[in-house]
Amino acid sequence: MAPEPMISKVVRNPDLIRGIGKYSRSKMYHKRGLWAIKAKNGGVVPRHDMKADADAPAVKPPKFYPADDFKKPLVNKREAKPTKLRSLSFPLSQSSLYL
């Protein structure tokens, strides 16, 4: 079965610039309908308690233990290029300054 196409959601408060919304906090309070939700619940926004965590599955010990603990190196996909050495033949290095 083919995956369903993603539907782009339209935000209620578009950004004018990053971090600054088009509408104020009070305007968004009314656009979201929080005033109606509070009125329906006696002036308090309903709060849902956290669910209890399900029991974690038992972790099986590894079949083989490593001989030594080594940190896994970070992935580095850079190509190693030869070092650029600067030439040592510039005028001041070969001549002596006499005072």
Does residue 91 have a pLDDT over 70? no
pLDDT of residue 62: 79
pLDDT of residue 68: 74
Does residue 58 have a pLDDT over 60? yes
> Rounded distance, CA 98 to CA 78, Å?
48
- Concatenate the DSSP letters of all residues of 39-81 into one string: HHTTSS----PPPPPPPPPPPPPPSS--SS--PPPPP--PPP-
62 vs 34, higher pLDDT: 34
Q: Which pTM value belongs to this model?
A: 0.40
* Domain coordinates in residue numbering, the chain: 11-45
Mean per-residue pLDDT, 69-90: 81
Please answer whether residues 13 and 21 qualify as being in contact, where contact means their C-beta atoms are separated by less than 8 angstroms.
yes
